[in-house]
Amino acid sequence: MYTYETLLAAITVEGGREVHNPATGELIGRVPTHTAADVDAAIDRAEAAQPAWAALSDEERVGYMNKIADAIEANAEALAELLSREQGKPLNGPNARFEVGGCVAWTRVPAGTPLPVEVVVDDGETYAEMHYRPLGVVGAITPWNWPMMIAIWQIIPSLRMGNTVVSKPSEYTTLSGLALNHILNTVLPAGVLETVAGAGDLGARLVESDKIAKIMFTGSTRTGKKIIEASSGNVKRLTLELGGNDAGIVLDDVDPKAIAEGLFWGAFINTGQTCAALKRLYVPDSIYDEVVNELAAFAAQMPMGQGLDEQNVLGPLQNEMQFNVVDRLVESAKASGARVVMGGNPDRDATGYFYPTTLIADIDPANELVTEEQFGPALPIIRYSDLDEAIRMANELEVGLGGSVWSSDRDRARAVAARVQAGTVWINSHGTINPFVPFGGAKQSGYGQEFGVAGLKAVAQPQVIQG
């Protein structure tokens, strides 16, 4: 079992690129910067290990998955502390310890999900079965907002289905990716999980390689489009979870106080740095002020600060780039005359990338803070008088990862949800994912599904055997 110090020592390198805590600026450690040749060598090792891994029975691979879950659990506190220091998220609340716990859940559930051979036709004349075979080597490209849990979403189903994996953590959270994969590799045979560390050019190398059968990518729509273009040469399989700008629609029959906590965490989980967070909220005239006031009252109770302080539940933005995006969009909203209910006043000279919890009311629906993904702790609240118009505004953007409807009448909420163009629409919550429930985007928020049986099938080659 590792402590934070021994885990850090196992993954850091002398003379490597410096990694700093986004809350304090302190140096945490140093990480390697791999080359294109390093990527090619990692791919070769994964390719060489894949036949023996695929030759194991499903039960044997499931056994490895359960040992991985045990290993993550045994090292959970060390992983959570490293994650908090590098990513910035607090230990408590739905943050670092929560994320490491999610790694365990998203390991045990795919391991325990049966995927039997499917008999698709058996009518006395024709007999056909559907099997799911390994693809080969999967390239897993992971973002910086949930760097451990999203890596597990990519790695574990791929391994379960007999593939090997070359994993590339984000350059912003390389330590977190290295630490998690180090723990996995205390269990796995050599070559089954390889890790490469560096910038986006290494991800491009994975995409371009003819030896990579599939890419799993979570990140921006812009990068996703580049991956699609680069993969066309060898018709590489893709699962893409891309940018979102999720809309929440409040109906006029809710109790504003009752939904305030759900709205807050839907928007501000991980300090707003979540692809499927609530990023624009549409509220009817009749209860607009009540909803805004109740949400502000709840938000005011949520402490923000350094992640290792046990009382905090909100942390800094992970990097300066993202701080500048949020700052620019909020300033645009302020300049347009929108009302700042709380926040919107960062200390730009302070240490750490802290942006205060910000609520912006009475904002033009066409303002940049509404139409662009802020990916941070700033929520625009748009007033509406006609429900059809609210649905139209929710659907008018090119993205469609998630959405939500808030109502005391579930049937009415379901009817509205059916009209929202998103891969997942939640009722009276937002972003509450489940390892048994398929998850994926609509429109330019990507394609392919993760989680559950659908997620296992997505990292396998369907094969029909007929006769």
Segments making up each domain of the chain, as ranges: 4-242+445-466, 246-427
Residues 349-370: what's their mean pLDDT? Answer: 97
Instruction: Say which amino acid occupies 20.
Output: H
Residues 194-219: what's their mean pLDDT? Answer: 96
Q: Which residue has the tokens 């396998």?
A: 460
CA–CA dist 51, 48 (Å, integer): 7
Query: Is 241 a residue of the active site?
Result: yes
Q: Angle of helix 76-87 relative to helix 58-74, nearest 10 degrees?
A: 70
Instruction: Say which amino acid occupies 204.
Output: A
Spell 266-277 as b/e; 16+ CB within 10 A means b.
Answer: bbbbbbbbbbbb
pLDDT attached to residue 421: 98
- Across the chain, mean pLDDT equals 97
pLDDT attached to residue 47: 98
pLDDT attached to residue 306: 97
pLDDT attached to residue 202: 94
CA–CA dist 166, 150 (Å, integer): 14
Superfamily of domain 4-242+445-466: Aldehyde Dehydrogenase; Chain A, domain 1 (3.40.605.10)
Cβ proximity of 403 and 414 under 8 Å: no
pLDDT attached to residue 255: 98
pLDDT attached to residue 273: 98
Q: Residue 340: count other Cβ atoms within 10 Å of its Cβ.
A: 17
Query: Is 103 a residue of the active site?
Result: no
Q: pLDDT per residue over 51-104, tens digit each?
A: 999 999 999 999 999 999 999 999 999 999 999 999 999 999 999 999 999 999
Cβ proximity of 437 and 107 under 8 Å: no
Which are the contacts of 125, defined by CB distance < 8 A and separation ≥ 6? Answer: none
Dihedral angle sign, alpha carbons of residues 16, 42, 138, 215: positive
% of the chain residues with pLDDT over 70 = 100
pLDDT band at 285 (very low <50, low <70, confident <90, very high): very high
pLDDT attached to residue 184: 98
Instruction: Say which amino acid occupies 42.
Output: A
Dihedral angle sign, alpha carbons of residues 398, 399, 405, 406: negative
Residues 153-160: what's their mean pLDDT? Answer: 98
pLDDT attached to residue 210: 96
Q: pLDDT per residue over 220-263, tens digit each?
A: 999 999 999 999 989 999 999 999 999 999 999 999 999 999 99
Closest CA to 256 of 281, 277, 280, 274: 281
CA–CA dist 391, 317 (Å, integer): 31
- Is domain 246-427 annotated with CATH 3.20.20.70? no
Which are the contacts of 350, defined by CB distance < 8 A and separation ≥ 6? Answer: none
pLDDT band at 397 (very low <50, low <70, confident <90, very high): very high
pLDDT attached to residue 240: 97
pLDDT attached to residue 124: 93
Cβ proximity of 218 and 142 under 8 Å: yes
Phi, psi of 284 (to 5 degrees): -70, 150
Helices of type H across 145-276: 149-160, 174-185, 200-208, 221-231, 256-268
Closest CA to 164 of 64, 50, 275, 281: 50
CA–CA dist 81, 68 (Å, integer): 19
What is the 8-class DSSP label of residue 117? P
Catalytic residue chosen out of the listed positions 47, 241, 294, 373: 241
Catalytic residue chosen out of the listed positions 275, 294, 373, 450: 275
